[in-house]
Amino acid sequence: MARVYFVRMKSRIIVYTILIAAVAAMGYFGYTINARKLMWLSGVGIVFLLFHLFRKRENQ
């Protein structure tokens, strides 16, 4: 059972790493074109993804 949990956690970390990299790229693009709203949205997106990655699930 513990092994299944670690495999799920590892796959979640890989997926969230890709998503965070995509949102960070969006923020960098906003920085290069000087779009403050896009940079702000990128920061909020990264915080949102990190929150969901590390939150405690009730069903596990």
Q: Does this model's pTM top 0.85? A: no
* Percent of the chain surpassing pLDDT 70: 82
pLDDT digits (tens, 9 = 90+) for 1-60: 566 666 777 888 899 999 999 999 999 999 999 999 999 999 999 999 989 888 866 665
pLDDT tens string 24-37: 999 999 999 999 99
Task: Give the CA distances from residue 55 to residues 4, 15, 18, 29, 46, in Å, rounded to whole numbers and listed in that order.
Answer: 18, 15, 18, 29, 14
